[in-house]
Amino acid sequence: AALDPTGAGDTFCGGTLAYLARGEQPARAARFAMPLAAEMVQHKGPTALIADTPAPLPPPSPRVRLDKPQIARVAQQIAGLDEVRPHDFAGPDQPPLNHPHVLDHFFALTLQQFSFWSTKDGHYHLPLIAPIEGQVLKGSSYIAQAYFRALHNNPQFLTVAGQANCSEDDLKVVLRSDEGEDVMPAFHLHHELANAYGRDMLALGETPESILARSNASSTPLATFLQILDQIGGYKEDPLRKKSTLLAITLNQRPEQFLRFGPGEAAPPIIDYHLMRSCLRTGLIEIVDEDLRRRVAARQVITFSDEEPIRQAAYDAIDEIVRLSGKSMGAVDFYFFGARLRCPEMSEPQCELCSLDPICAKRKELFQPVVRTTFY
């Protein structure tokens, strides 16, 4: 047996298990356990573990900081806006109410909401914009239309077995543009995740219906739902659970209300590149590291170690916006997602159309972190 004279290893393992029991994503549970282990070695015996003080949190990165006064201003502004309201994920380009494959559709589609842009010479190049079903659509709207088409033409593709067994050619048919082209900048990643989702679901004996039945039977349906998705390819990879949470609010806000939230449950922040760009440009967060700020403004491809403090700061900022504004995460997310039209990637922001214009920091030169990931 190994000897752990400091107790750090045991503390780390115990802390990780404790945070898992609280519903944290596994990678985040380990991250939150690290400060416990660090504090353990600074005291004799179990003193640190039995102290009547709050558990230490991971220290914030010195490279990116939250602007708390600006967060308070934006939260106050958002609190008074009628336009900040949840989206119902229904309408003419969405599955009809109570369609027999509506759950297959949203489970298979939402895991594909990532990486709709290309690079050139180590820099961001262009967003995905292409014609499909007679419309010219961008990014997430394009893939949503592709899967909506599949819902009508080949609903079996969206099932767990269909995803597990789909070939690259099968997926290319689903995603083809009106010009017959493969326009996805990261096609192979989309295929890998479709297969991973289907195979994990089959291995665990799960279906969308079984996951929702287990979740809704729990006293904490949202937490249970997110923890189940921590085991499913396409959802389990992201420590911040962006796609898992997006799926949760979709199912909660649809008219059928497939997923209920328990008393006191609220969705965590949903952080993608649009949210990060908004946080940086409005001044909710500030990149203090001048070299990192320069590379972000230059739209240079960066590393995950560069991206992580920006995304974590955006997560914390949006969490505060929700708390201070009294709006739901679904409402705040849809509001900032809509900012992609007012404050887009490739053209001058139309500040006069934005309800945050009077208080915005207008750091228009800043961009989202450019890093290829399946998280968002």
Check which CATH number belongs to the domain holding 303 and give it: 1.10.1670
Arithmetic mean of pLDDT over the chain:
96
DSSP state letters, 310-338: HHHHHHHHHHHHHHHH---HHHHHHHHHH
69 and 28 belong to one structural domain: no
> In this model, does residue 49 exceed pLDDT 80?
no
Q: Residue 93: inside a domain, yes or no? A: no
Averaged over 345-360, what is the pLDDT? Answer: 96
CA distance 109 to 194: 9
Q: Residue 243: inside a domain, yes or no? A: yes
Q: Residue 367: inside a domain, yes or no? A: no
What pLDDT score does 326 carry?
98
Contact 67, 286 (CB under 8 A): yes
111 and 144 belong to one structural domain: yes
> In this model, does residue 8 exceed pLDDT 90?
no
- Partnered with residue 64 across adjacent β-strands are 287
134 and 31 belong to one structural domain: no
> In this model, does residue 55 exceed pLDDT 90?
no
Question: pLDDT tens digits, residue range 322-339?
Answer: 999 999 999 999 999 999
129 and 221 belong to one structural domain: yes
Q: How many domains does the chain have?
A: 3
Question: pLDDT tens digits, residue range 196-205?
Answer: 999 999 999 9
> In this model, does residue 1 exceed pLDDT 80?
no
234 and 289 belong to one structural domain: no
164 and 274 belong to one structural domain: no
Q: Strand 129-132 vs strand 117-120: parallel, antiparallel, or unpaired? A: unpaired
200 and 282 belong to one structural domain: no
Q: Residue 97: inside a domain, yes or no? A: no
What pLDDT score does 359 carry?
98
225 and 291 belong to one structural domain: no
173 and 68 belong to one structural domain: no
Averaged over 141-168, what is the pLDDT? Answer: 99
Q: Residue 274: inside a domain, yes or no? A: yes
The region of weakest confidence among 36-50, 106-120, 255-269, 350-364 is 36-50
> In this model, does residue 3 exceed pLDDT 80?
no
Q: Residue 368: inside a domain, yes or no? A: no
Positive or negative, the Cα torsion across 187, 311, 333, 243? positive
Domain that holds residue 77: 64-87+266-359
Q: What does DSSP assign to residue 347? A: S
238 and 272 belong to one structural domain: no
Pairwise pLDDT comparison (10 vs 136), residue with the higher score = 136
Q: Residue 309: inside a domain, yes or no? A: yes
For residue 218, give every residue at least 6 positions away whose Cβ sits within 8 Å of its Cβ, in sequence order, or none.
Answer: 224, 262
Question: pLDDT tens digits, residue range 276-297?
Answer: 999 999 999 999 999 999 999 9
Q: Residue 229: inside a domain, yes or no? A: yes
Contact 299, 260 (CB under 8 A): no
Specify the 3-state DSSP secondary structure of 96. Answer: coil
Angstrom CA distances, 26 to 30, 240, 374, stand at 6, 10, 17
Last residue of a domain, one of 229, 253, 277: 253
> In this model, does residue 2 exceed pLDDT 70?
no
- Taking CA 343 as the corner, what is the angle to CA 287 and CA 279, rounded to the nearest 5 degrees? 30
159 and 193 belong to one structural domain: yes
165 and 243 belong to one structural domain: yes
